[in-house]
Amino acid sequence: MWLRVLGSAAGGGYPQWNCSCPTCRAVREGTRPARARTQSSIAVSPDRERWFLFNASPDIRAQFEAFEGLHPGDDRATPLQAVLLTDAEIDHTLGLLLLREGRGIRLHATEATHATLRSGTGVLPTLERYCPVEWTPVVPGRDASLGGITYRAFDVPTAKHDRFAGAHESSSAGTSIDTDQGRVVGYRLTDEATGAVAVYLPGVQELTPAVLDELEGVDCLLVDGTCWHDDELIRLGLAEKTARDMGHLSLGGPGGSLEQLSRLPIARKIYIHINNTNPILLEDSPERREVEESGMEVAHDGLEVEVGTR
């Protein structure tokens, strides 16, 4: 099983178009070693011929062009098989509209995410005016096969309230739904041929015992690396919310994700979904050094991992 990081930044990318924080200035001006990044998304394949997209970012066109494995073949046929969503956030779903020229989209999403895309953001009704969308419901805790890869979604606790969650009261089937169930999920992916396991977890507010149970026996973890400090945006005068308020566990300090995850026996532990303010984006920063000395990695666009090998 192969994982390809198409985009490694959080919403807004890096540098963010309207931000002049120290990390954004550094990459724009070239004053410190740093790489520009697009908004987070990965592609997964059991054979390097068929690819499954996890989250569809607004940068999807540039991401596909940058990766030859997703280039079209004859008669506009593409290796893209389906899109799987972790939530209904615009940063993870706006790219669906940029796939409208295709023959159709196979979409895997929870009932809560699907309902929000239909009645809240309006992404699905707009997309369906251009191409057919085949929805496969994702049920947390239930295994499903993609053909070579089995996935199991799991609920992720989050304090972040989807701003569109109140826009609907029922699913497309007309039944009442609990928007806390399936509103944000991670994915546990298993290679059906080798048994190798990866987890994609780009947004998590707390590493609860239930979440940590999902990391048992994992060979590769791609995990939320949004902010170093919980009050990072407040310190910089950019916002009044903490990372936790936005549904993310910060990396640094006691109880941070670095302290908790670095001790886990996982061969590849990689931070993804990194906010433009996070100092780990600067390759010469003490925070970046602390991450690397702890045995963890920082994702960059174009990183590819063959799961089960170092």
CATH code of the domain covering residue 141:
3.60.15.10
Q: Which of 1, 6, 2, 8 is nearest to 275 (CA)?
A: 8
Q: Which of 182, 171, 177 is nearest to 142 (CA)?
A: 182
- At 244-294, the pLDDT tens digits run 999 999 999 999 999 999 999 999 999 999 999 999 999 999 999 999 999
- pLDDT number for residue 213: 97
Q: Is 286 exposed, middle or buried (0-12, 13-18, 19+ CB in 10 A)?
A: exposed
**Is the confidence at residue 179, as pLDDT, over 50?**
no
What's the total number of domains in the chain?
Answer: 1
**Is the confidence at residue 172, as pLDDT, over 70?**
no
At 282, give phi and psi (nearest 5°).
-90, 115
| Containing structural domain, residue 298 | 2-306
**Is the confidence at residue 48, as pLDDT, over 60?**
yes
Distance CA 204, CA 184 (A): 8
- pLDDT number for residue 177: 36
- pLDDT number for residue 165: 52
- Over residues 105-123, the mean pLDDT reads 96
Q: Torsion-angle region of residue 78: left (phi > 0), alpha (psi -120 to 50) or beta?
A: beta
- Residue 67's SS3 state is coil
- Over residues 53-59, the mean pLDDT reads 98
- pLDDT number for residue 164: 56
pLDDT band at 163 (very low <50, low <70, confident <90, very high): low
- At 126-138, the pLDDT tens digits run 999 999 999 999 9
**Is the confidence at residue 178, as pLDDT, over 50?**
no
Distant-in-sequence, close-in-space partners of 166: CB < 8 Å, separation ≥ 6: none
- Over residues 130-151, the mean pLDDT reads 97
Q: How many CB atoms lie within 10 A of CB 130?
A: 13
Pairing of strands 41-45, 2-7: antiparallel
Listed in order, strand segments (DSSP E) in 56-184 are 80-84, 105-109, 133-137, 143-145, 149-155
Q: Which two tokens stand for residue 8?
A: 């490694």
- Over residues 189-218, the mean pLDDT reads 97
Q: Which two tokens stand for residue 133?
A: 């969308």
In the numeric block, the tokens 């991450």 are attached to 291
* 137 or 161, higher pLDDT: 137
Distance CA 140, CA 159 (A): 19
Mean pLDDT is lowest, of 62-76, 133-147, 176-190, 248-262, for 176-190
- Over residues 174-197, the mean pLDDT reads 80
**Is the confidence at residue 180, as pLDDT, over 90?**
no
- pLDDT number for residue 74: 84
- pLDDT number for residue 310: 57
**Is the confidence at residue 309, as pLDDT, over 70?**
no
Listed in order, strand segments (DSSP E) in 98-142 are 105-109, 133-137
**CA 102 from centroid of its chain's CA atoms:** 23
**Is the confidence at residue 161, as pLDDT, over 70?**
no
Distance CA 218, CA 198 (A): 6
Amino acid at 272: I
Does residue 141 contact residue 154 with C-beta atoms inside 8 Å?
yes
pLDDT > 70 in the chain, percent: 92
**Is the confidence at residue 95, as pLDDT, over 80?**
yes
